[in-house]
Amino acid sequence: MHHTRESETLLIPETCILPVTCTGPPAGSTGSGAETKFAMAIGGGLDIDLGHGISLRPVQAEYLLQRECCDVEVRQGVFHSYGFNDNAFRYSAGIVFHFGPHLGKN
């Protein structure tokens, strides 16, 4: 699951008629909202042990999915939902340092 929160403030400048001076803050409106949507990540990698608590990770790949939803429209008494998936792929590689009681064992 992923959670998004947004807020916005729309400021409208105060209209003044001369010779009256404007002393109040600008008028406006504020809105906010939050949504919780489906998300997942799946993947894996390969570690090659080099000894002394160090490993080489030549590949780690992950697929990420976020479901973005929805505009809902009613046509002829039927609800139609419109949404899309946000798909991403992540690849990384590197060196891994292991800490703990196994450090130094080969």
**Tens of pLDDT, residues 6-43:** 777 776 666 666 666 665 555 666 777 777 888 899 99
Question: What are 56-101's pLDDT values in tens digits?
Answer: 999 999 999 988 777 778 888 888 777 788 899 999 999 999 888 7
**Would you say the pTM of this structure is higher than 0.85?**
no
CA distance 47 to 55: 6
Domain boundaries, the chain: 2-97
CA 22 to chain centre: 42
